[in-house]
Structure 1
Amino acid sequence: MAPKSLAFSGIAPSNFAVFLVAMLLCSRPIRAGHDYHDALRKGILFFEGQRSGKLPPDQRIRWRRDSALRDGSSAGVDLTGGYYDAGDNVKFGFPMAFTTTMLSWSIIDFGKTMGPELKNAVKAVRWGTDYLLKATAIPGVVFVQVGDAYSDHNCWERPEDMDTLRTVYKIDKAHPGSDVAGETAAALAAASIVFRKRDPSYSRRLLDRAVRVFAFANKYRGAYSSSLYHAVCPFYCDFNGYQGGWMQDELLWGAAWLHKASRRRAYREYIVKNEVVLRAGDTINEFGWDNKHAGINVLISKEVLMGKAEYFESFKQNADGFICSILPGISHPQVQYSPGGLMFKTGGSNMQHVTSLSFLMVAYANYLSHSRKVVPCGELTASPSLLRQVAKRQVDYILGDNPLRLSYMVGYGPRFPHRIHHRGSSLPSVAAHPSPFRCKDGTSYFLSPGPNPNLLVGAVVGGPNITDAFPDSRPFFQQSEPTTYINAPLLGLLSFFSSHPS
C-alpha cells in the first residue's frame, strides 16, 4: 500500500523527521527520567495478581488466594489455572492466548535486557501455556472460556469467593472457531521458542500441540463469535471477522509463528499462498487480541530484512506502510494523538493500542537497524531512531510524563490510579475479611469513592481519553480497568528502554 500523503504546511520535507522529534520532545513534561527496570519488575508482578487456580509457594502478590479450583469439572476436564484477563473473574481464551503470544515475543526479542526479571517473565509465560495445554488436551476440541460473563458481570465479588456460573465453552468441528484456535496455536508456537533451551521437552510438547491446534483451526474454519455468540459477545467478539468470508488473520498469524518455531516449508508456503488476507487500508495499523494484521507484517518482515526470504517482500511493504500510518503529524483517519502526545484509537481500553503498536515500532526499528535500513514514507525517511523515539514517548506518557503528571501503572511513581475497575483489588482481601462476599455484597465497595484496599502493583489501566482526561473511577471501566493484553507488550518495551534509556 502506498503511504498517506506526508505534506505538512510550512515544513520542508527534508526537515520533517526533525520536526516530528521536536514535536514529541516539546509536548513532554520535563522530568529526570524513568526507572524502566522498576516498571518492568512491577509490570511482570501484575500477572501474579491475575492468576487463577492454585497459587504457587513463591506467589508475591500476597493478598490473592487460591480461586476457581473446580474449573472444568462440569465438563469432566481440568481447566484450573490460567489468567483472569481483566477486572472480572471470567477466563476468556482469546485474550489469554494473545497475552501469552505477546509475553513470549517480548522475551524472544527483548529477554536479553530483562536482567533478573527474565525468570519471572518466563514464569508468566508458563502460567499461560500450562493452561492452554489443558484447554487443548482433547484432539479436535479447544476450551475457550470458563465462566458465564453475564452472571459474572452481574456481581462484584472476589475471585476467591466466586459463586457465579463457571460454565465451560468449547469449539469443535461442529462449532468452529479458527480465530481463537489460530491465536492459541500462535501462543503455543511462540512459547516453544522461549523454552527451547530452558526446557527442551516442554518446548517440543508446546510445538507439537501448536501444530495440532493449527491443523484443526485451518480445517474447520469459522468465527468463534458465530459459534458461541451468546457467550462471548459483546465481551470478546471477533469484531475483525473473516477476510472476505474465507480466511482469518489469526490463521496467518498462527502459521507465521509456527514457521518461526519450526522452520517447516509447509508453513512458509501457507503464508505465501494466503498473503492476500492482509489487505491494506483500514487494517494496516490494527494490532491486538482481535486483529493481527500489523503484527503479522512486522513479524514476517524480519526475515526479509535479514536477507533470508525475498518471497515475503510484500509483508515488508505492508510493515513499512504500517509505520508510515502511525507517525505523529501524518494524517490517518484511524490514528490520532492527544494534546499531551498519547496515541489514540477509537474503542475501549486505549492503552492496549498504545502498548501493542509501540511494541511493533521498537521491534521493527531493531530489525531495520540490524539490516541498516530505513522506512521510506513518501518524502520522509523514518529511521530506526525516530521509531524508538515515538515509542519511548508513549512509554514515558504511561509512566507519568503527561498533562496530569499521573502514572497509569499502579504502584509506579508518586501518583497513580487508586480506584481501578478490578474486583480483587477493590474488595478487602481474604486475610482482612475472612467471610466471603456474595454476589451483591461488594456493590458498596464498587460505588465507594475511596481507594482500593489492595494495590494491584504493575497494572496498567485503559487510560485517559483523547483530551488527556482521566476520571480514576471504577464505573468508568474503559479507562480504569487493567488487562493482561495491555501489559504483555509493554514488558518488551520496558525491557528495551531499561538498557537504552536515551
Structure 2
Amino acid sequence: MGLCSMASALFLLVGVVPLALAGGHDYGAALSKSILFFEAQRSGYLPGNQRVKWRGNSGLYDGKANGVDLVGGYYDAGDNVKFGLPMAFTVTMMSWSILEYGNQMGASGELGHAMDAVKWGTDYLIKAHPQPHVLYGEVGDGNTDHYCWQRPEDMTTSRYAYRVDQNNPGSDLAGETAAAMAAASIVFRHANPAYSRELLTHAGQLFDFADKYRGKYDSSITVAQKYYRSVSGYADELLWAAAWMYKATNNEYYLDYLGENGDALGGTGWAMTEFGWDVKYAGVQTLVAKFLMGGKAGNHAPVFGKYQEKAESFMCSCLGKSSQNVQKTPGASDPNLLTGAIVGGPDAYDNFADHRDNYEQTEPATYNNAPLLGVLSRLHGGHGGYNQLLPVEVRVAKPIAAQPKPNPVKETPFAAPVAIEQKPTTSWVANGKTYYRYSAIVTNKSGKTIKNLNLSVSKLYGPLWGLTKSPSGSYSFPTWVSSLPAGKSMEFVYIHAASPAQVSLSSYTLA
C-alpha cells in the first residue's frame, strides 16, 4: 500500500475536512469486502460463521514447541508467518476506524463483522502475552516459508515461535501491542466490559514492559529483520502507546508521559510525510492534537501545541500544500478468490507489474486494509460533520510559504543521458550460500524522453524482474513501460549470490 493511501486513511480517520462524495462508487460494498478479507487471513480454528468457505483450520500447533498456546491470529500477507508488529498495528487501526466511524459501520450492517475482526486479533495478542515481561512476536520462519509455496492448511515449514523479554527487549513490538490492546479495550467497553478490562490490563503491562526494558524488537527477534525491520526504532511506539493508554484510561500518568517525553522521543520534532506499521509519529501527533483541542492538555499545552503543529504539517502534506508532500501516484485465474484484498500498488514512479512473483507490488496485506475500514465507512455514510468526537471547531492549518524552486543544474554537453545506481536491499543464507536482492534505479538525466532503451547486464547469476530480455541477450523496457520521460526513473531488481551485476547502457533514442 502506498504512503499516500495510508496517509489518506489517517487523514480521514481524524475527520478534519468535509467530504465531497463522488457518485457511482459503491463504498458500502468496498467496506464489506475489505472486512471480509480479514476472514481469509485467519489462522487457527475457524468458527462456524466463517464466510470465506475455501479456508480451513491451520496452524493448530503454533506455540507447542515453545510450551505456549499461540493458535489463532492473522497471517499478515501472502505467506504463512504470523508477524506480531504488523498484526498489532492492524488491530490498532481497525479499532481506530471503529471508534471514529462505528455509527456508519453500524448503518451499513458491518459493525459486528468489524468488531469480530478486531477480536480475532486481540484474542491472539492475549495469548502472545503470557507474562508481564514476555511477548511472542513471530510464529514461523520467513526464510523457509518463502521457499515453499503452500496453503496454510497444508504447510510443513517451521512453526517455531520467537519472543521478547526483559533480557531481549522489544519496545516497538510491546508498545504497538499495548496500543492495539488499549484501542480495542475502548471498542469493547460497552459490548463486553469484562473483555475490555482484560485488554486494558494487558495494555498497561505491555506499556510498562516497553518503557522499562528498552530496545528494538528486531535486535532480539533477528529473523524478522528481512521482513519487518524496525527502521524508525521504538521511540514513536512508546509515544503511540502512551497516547492510546490515555485515551483508554484518562490516567494523567500517560498524559504527563506525552508532555514530558515529546521532545526526547521525537514526537514534537519530526514533521512526517508518512504513516504506517513502522512509523507512528503522524498518528501520535494527531491523537495528541485532539487531546489539546478537547481541552485535555493541562499543564502540557505548550508541548502539545508542538505536536499539533506537526499534525497540521502532516495534513497539509496530504493535501499537497506543504513544502514536502506525501508522495502520490495516479493509480493503477486463481482457484481461491481473495475478496477485498488491497495490494501494495505502484512504485514511486507509478510503474506497476501485475505478476505473481512481484510480491512487493501485488501482495495484499492486513495492514493495507485496516486503515481503510474507517475511510470506507465515512465515504459510505456521507458527510456527518467535521469531527464526530470533539464538539469544537478544527483549526485551519497555518499556510506554509511556498519554497522557491532551486535553479536547475545545467548538465555538461557530454553528461551521460542515463544514470544507473545499484544497491543491495536485503540478504539471506540458504544451503550455505548468501543471496542478495539488488535494486537498480535507472534515471533519465537528459532533457528529452528516452525510447528504445537497451541495457547490457552481465555477470548476472539469478532471476531478474522489471526488464524484458530480448533474444540477443540485451534488456529493454518492461512490457508496461514504453518510454522514460526526462527526469523520471524506473526500477528493476534481481537476486543472486554474488557482487552486483554489471549494468551498462547499450543504446537508446531521444524523442
- Fold match (TM-score > 0.5): yes
Counterpart in 1 of 2:266? 278
Contact 2:274–2:326 (8 Å) recurs in 1: no
Counterpart in 2 of 1:62? 53
Aligned residue for 2:138, secondary structure, equals strand
Contact 1:285–1:293 (8 Å) recurs in 2: no
Aligned residue for 2:162, secondary structure, equals strand
How many percent identity over aligned positions? 53
2: CA distance, partners of 1:282 / 1:317: 10
Counterpart in 2 of 1:132? 125
Counterpart in 1 of 2:340? 458
2: CA distance, partners of 1:488 / 1:64: 20
For 1:128-167, what aligned pairs fall within 5 Å after superposition?
128-167=121-160
Residue of structure 2 aligned with 1:266, choices 225, 245, 253:
253
CA displacement 1:101-146 (0-9 Å, x = unmatched): 0000000011110121000000000000000000012221000100
Matched, 1:252 2:252: no
Counterpart in 1 of 2:319? 327
Matched, 1:301 2:289: yes
Aligned residue for 1:170, secondary structure, equals strand
With 467-476 and 189-198 compared, the bigger mean Cα shift is at 467-476
For 1:65-80, what aligned pairs fall within 5 Å after superposition?
65-80=56-71
2: CA distance, partners of 1:281 / 1:265: 23
2: CA distance, partners of 1:279 / 1:265: 18
Query: Taking structure 1 as reference, are residues 205 and 172 closer, same or farther at Cα in structure 2, changes over 3 Å only?
Result: same
Matched, 1:471 2:353: yes
Contact 1:192–1:261 (8 Å) recurs in 2: yes
Counterpart in 2 of 1:205? 198
RMSD: 2.1
Contact 2:267–2:285 (8 Å) recurs in 1: no
Q: CA deviation at 1:228?
A: 1.9
Q: CA deviation at 1:467?
A: 4.6
Q: CA deviation at 1:470?
A: 2.6
For 1:30-429, what aligned pairs fall within 5 Å after superposition?
32-114=23-105, 115=107, 116-229=109-222, 231-242=223-234, 248-276=235-263, 277-278=265-266, 284-309=272-297, 311=300, 312-328=304-320, 330-332=322-324, 335-338=326-329, 340=330, 402=331
In structure 1, the gaps of 5 or more residues are 1-20, 243-247, 341-401, 405-450
Query: Taking structure 1 as reference, are residues 31 and 315 closer, same or farther at Cα in structure 2, changes over 3 Å only?
Result: closer
Match of 2:289, as an amino acid?
A: S
1: CA distance, partners of 2:112 / 2:69: 26
2: CA distance, partners of 1:263 / 1:31: 39
CA displacement 1:279-311 (0-9 Å, x = unmatched): 567652231111110000011111212233252
Counterpart in 2 of 1:441? none
Query: Taking structure 1 as reference, are residues 64 and 278 closer, same or farther at Cα in structure 2, changes over 3 Å only?
Result: same
1: CA distance, partners of 2:247 / 2:98: 14
1: CA distance, partners of 2:207 / 2:267: 22
2: CA distance, partners of 1:316 / 1:139: 33
Aligned residue for 1:164, secondary structure, equals coil
Q: CA deviation at 1:33?
A: 2.1
CA displacement 1:377-397 (0-9 Å, x = unmatched): xxxxxxxxxxxxxxxxxxxxx
Counterpart in 2 of 1:500? 382
Query: Taking structure 1 as reference, are residues 31 and 97 closer, same or farther at Cα in structure 2, changes over 3 Å only?
Result: closer
Structure 2-normalised TM-score? Answer: 0.68
Q: CA deviation at 1:328?
A: 2.2
2: CA distance, partners of 1:31 / 1:201: 42
2: CA distance, partners of 1:282 / 1:335: 14
Match of 2:51, as an amino acid?
A: R
Contact 1:461–1:480 (8 Å) recurs in 2: yes
Match of 1:73, as an amino acid?
A: K
1: CA distance, partners of 2:41 / 2:167: 32
Q: CA deviation at 1:501?
A: 6.8
2: CA distance, partners of 1:99 / 1:93: 10
Structure 1-normalised TM-score? Answer: 0.69
CA displacement 1:53-99 (0-9 Å, x = unmatched): 00000000000000000000000110000000111000000000000
1: CA distance, partners of 2:259 / 2:132: 27
Contact 2:43–2:73 (8 Å) recurs in 1: yes
Structure with more strand by fraction: 2
Q: CA deviation at 1:318?
A: 1.4
Whichever of the two has the greater Rg, that structure is 2
Q: CA deviation at 1:32?
A: 4.4
Q: How many residues align?
A: 360
2: CA distance, partners of 1:32 / 1:106: 23
Contact 1:328–1:337 (8 Å) recurs in 2: no
Higher RCO (CA 8 Å, separation ≥ 6 residues): 1
2: CA distance, partners of 1:479 / 1:130: 30
Q: CA deviation at 1:314?
A: 2.0
Match of 2:291, as an amino acid?
A: E
